[in-house]
A and B are shown apart, each in its own frame.
Chain A
Amino acid sequence: MFEALFYLLIFPGGFFLVLVGLGFEWLDRKLLALFQRRVGPPWYQPLADLIKLFSKEDLLPKGGNELVATLLPLLSLCAVLVAGLYVPIAGFTPYSFEGDLIVILFLMSVPTLAYYLAGIISIGIYSILGGGRSLLQYFSYEVPFLIALSGPAVLARSWSIEGILTAQFTLGSFVLFQPLGFILALVGLIGKLKRDPLDIPSAKSEVVGGSLTEFSGGKLGFWHLAMNIQAVVGIFLIINLFLGWTKLANPFVAILVFFLEFLVIVGMLSSASAIFARLRIDQLAGLGWRILVPLSLAQILFVILMGV
């Protein structure tokens, strides 16, 4: 009972994920600033932003539905927090079962759908546009993302993340067999997180704030927190699926390696936002269905042939 509460609230659940989420935001902003010859924020900036958001007045425009507008960010936050509970961290996983990968993928999609709903129920034009765009984007990146992530599962013949990790201990890291799948998973993650360069649903110069235009105060704070934790869970997932190294006996080494891998992936995401321009929605759909889907299919075919 006590142990379960610890897992749920402290580690690897609630508190830890919030902390890493804020740390991720700071690291991302700082790296981007360095790429752009700026100074960047101090380490406590994301936390300060969050505190400030929660202390602000929470406004909802006339005609908005208070209950739904409050539930949507909370729902996305809960979904990603639960997902975080099932992702192994440096090989440590309290709850693992056959099929948890599918549960995580499902939970990770909840914020996107909540984002879409947040736009559609709003009365603001920019929100409606942003909501519609987020769904269009979802259809473009989600298919290659899912196919890319199922590659490791097929290779390991297991739908549990721990099973995939164990398979990597004998076969070797899956990024060696599926470099393409790794890249596709990263692209899909960028699309899922609505990060630059795939920030089409929230592009400031086109649709102001996307679905979140009308949100303020604590609700907006929950949205930001949910997105940061979603990013962290996504990165952890990719590390587990593609970058599991042969059994590391020493837990300290394991934690260190895990942390380094996390840093590398954050660096890759930040540099992607620094060097690419935002795509148009039709260009993204073209990229998704004409390039990413065939590539991911080729990758999975390769994996299946390898398994035979």
Chain B
Amino acid sequence: MSKISIPIGPQHPLLKEPLSMKIDISGEKVLGGSLRLGYVHRGIERLAQKRNYVQTIHLVERVCGICSHIHTTTFCQAVESLLKLEVPPRAQYLRALMCELERIHSHLLWLGILAKHVGLDTIFMHTWHDRELALDVMEEITGGRVLHGANQIGGVRFDLDESHFPMIHANLEKLRSQILGLLDILENEPALIARTKGVAPVSQKTIRQYGVVGPVARASGVDVDMRRDNPLPPYDQLKFSVVTMPDGDAWARTIVRAEEIRESLNLCEMILEDLPDGEVSKRAPRNVPEGEVIIRSEAPRGELFYYLRSDGTDQPARLKIRTPTLAALCLLPVQMSDIQVADIPVVLAGVDLCVACADR
């Protein structure tokens, strides 16, 4: 059969964000592919050098539409580390609570997209319905569903009081029962297993060479999680397990993410239980002393990397953001061989695309 090249993107029903792939196929067999980014490149790294630190918090919040909170948290931690500012423990716990809620909603969103790509619209509708429970909690405590504006240098801008707890506990409880049902379906639905099991498996060595992080790496058996390996408070005081699977295929990634939702729910409960009393923020000076710092934290999609250099003014001298999606995207053309056309959506969904993250 002759070779033809099909375009996927920048506009395609498969993609929620603009990304361009050219995939060479012969009949139903995929031969290879190439990738092109940049359709939502906003030059955030450059913009950050012309804004002061307070403005930059709100700038980095807009790197990603799904994991906005982890970006501001990591940036604030970087600035606080340069300022040598001790953040109140209550603020650390509240930040972690938001991070875990964000992980839950990000993973649920991803599960829905995978289900939609394999033609299981019912699971898509149900997971996105359940995701609203997590979003409702975030809206209740910070006032924003997607962009929370929750962080400031030196702490957080919201506090919990007694009236919040019943609603949070009720929603988490509902989410937990939904996740249990969902896991049951994911592990037993034969058509879903047939579509995802054994699709484009990735070996441990490849994962390391391509620097892939997060659930994709963990699904290949690479035991890496920045919350545990390189913990920033309060994760050094919280107990949780890191989920890994040996197979490295799309099914393993599904299970890893579903189990991580469960771990995150446990973490949320733990954080609410241990929540220390006290103030939630400290005053921070406008100017940041000279210095450079690297912060690695665990975003829903994996290791998030921030490099920040200050030259003593109120503006960052250099801010470098490496989002986890960029690493996973490198792997995408590699996976686009020896699969079928019908597997393209599964492979694309498997790396959990966040194009806005990758472009910045």
* A274 to B191 CA separation, bound complex (whole angstroms): 12
* A200 to B343 CA separation, bound complex (whole angstroms): 12
Asked if B119 is at the interface (CB within 8 A of a chain A CB), the reply is yes
Asked if B28 is at the interface (CB within 8 A of a chain A CB), the reply is yes
Asked if A170 is at the interface (CB within 8 A of a chain B CB), the reply is no
CB-CB contacts of B119-155 with A at 8 A, as 1s and 0s?
A: 1111001100100000000000000000000000000
Within 8 A of A (CB), among B333-360: 340-345
- Between A35, A133, A204, the greatest number of chain B beta carbons within 10 A of the residue's beta carbon is seen for A204
Which residues from B are CB-within-8-Å of A125?
4, 6-7
CB-CB contacts of A32-72 with B at 8 A, as 1s and 0s?
A: 10011110000000000000000000000000000000000
Given A36-B125, A132-B27, A276-B119, 5 more pairs with CB closer than 8 A? A204-B14, A274-B122, A277-B194, A281-B342, A283-B194
Distance between B52 CB and nearest chain A CB, rounded to angstroms: 44
Asked if A275 is at the interface (CB within 8 A of a chain B CB), the reply is yes
Which residues from B are CB-within-8-Å of A208?
12-13
A-side residues, CB < 8 A to B, are: 32, 35-38, 125-126, 128-129, 132-133, 196-197, 199-200, 203-208, 273-283
Which residues from B are CB-within-8-Å of A279?
191, 194-195
Which residues from A are CB-within-8-Å of B195?
277-280
Given A208-B13, A277-B192: A196 and B121 interface contact (C-beta under 8 Å): yes
Which residues from B are CB-within-8-Å of A129?
6, 341
Main secondary structure of the interface of A (DSSP, over half): helix
B342 to A280, Cβ gap below 8 A?
Answer: yes
CB-CB contacts of B184-221 with A at 8 A, as 1s and 0s?
A: 00000101101100000000000000000000000000
Given A37-B125, A205-B13, A205-B14: A277 and B6 interface contact (C-beta under 8 Å): no
17 pairs of residues in contact across A and B, judged by CB atoms under 8 Å = A128-B4, A129-B6, A200-B342, A203-B342, A204-B13, A205-B117, A206-B14, A206-B345, A208-B13, A276-B191, A277-B191, A278-B119, A279-B191, A280-B340, A280-B342, A280-B343, A281-B340
* A280 to B341 CA separation, bound complex (whole angstroms): 9
* A206 to B23 CA separation, bound complex (whole angstroms): 12
Asked if B157 is at the interface (CB within 8 A of a chain A CB), the reply is no
Which residues from B are CB-within-8-Å of A205?
13-14, 116-117, 119, 345
Distance between A201 CB and nearest chain B CB, rounded to angstroms: 11
Which residues from A are CB-within-8-Å of B342?
200, 203, 206, 278, 280-281
* A132 to B6 CA separation, bound complex (whole angstroms): 15
Asked if B243 is at the interface (CB within 8 A of a chain A CB), the reply is no
Within 8 A of A (CB), among B143-193: 189, 191-192
Which residues from B are CB-within-8-Å of A206?
14, 341-342, 344-345
- Between B14, B119, B125, the greatest number of chain A beta carbons within 10 A of the residue's beta carbon is seen for B119
Given A200-B342, A205-B345: A281 and B191 interface contact (C-beta under 8 Å): no
* A200 to B344 CA separation, bound complex (whole angstroms): 14
Closest to A282 in B: B340
Which residues from B are CB-within-8-Å of A126?
6
B129 to A277, Cβ gap below 8 A?
Answer: no
Which residues from A are CB-within-8-Å of B12?
208
Which residues from A are CB-within-8-Å of B116?
205
* A291 to B131 CA separation, bound complex (whole angstroms): 39
Which residues from B are CB-within-8-Å of A35?
122
Which residues from B are CB-within-8-Å of A199?
119
* A196 to B116 CA separation, bound complex (whole angstroms): 12
CB-CB contacts of B32-66 with A at 8 A, as 1s and 0s?
A: 00000000000000000000000000000000000
B119 to A203, Cβ gap below 8 A?
Answer: yes
A277 to B120, Cβ gap below 8 A?
Answer: yes
CB-CB contacts of B311-340 with A at 8 A, as 1s and 0s?
A: 000000000000000000000000000001
Which residues from B are CB-within-8-Å of A276?
119-120, 191
Asked if B226 is at the interface (CB within 8 A of a chain A CB), the reply is no
* A128 to B117 CA separation, bound complex (whole angstroms): 21
Closest to B341 in A: A206
B344 to A277, Cβ gap below 8 A?
Answer: no
B126 to A36, Cβ gap below 8 A?
Answer: yes
Asked if B82 is at the interface (CB within 8 A of a chain A CB), the reply is no
Closest to A278 in B: B119
- Between A196, A197, A274, A276, the greatest number of chain B beta carbons within 10 A of the residue's beta carbon is seen for A276
Distance between A122 CB and nearest chain B CB, rounded to angstroms: 13
Closest to B191 in A: A277
Asked if B83 is at the interface (CB within 8 A of a chain A CB), the reply is no
Asked if B118 is at the interface (CB within 8 A of a chain A CB), the reply is yes
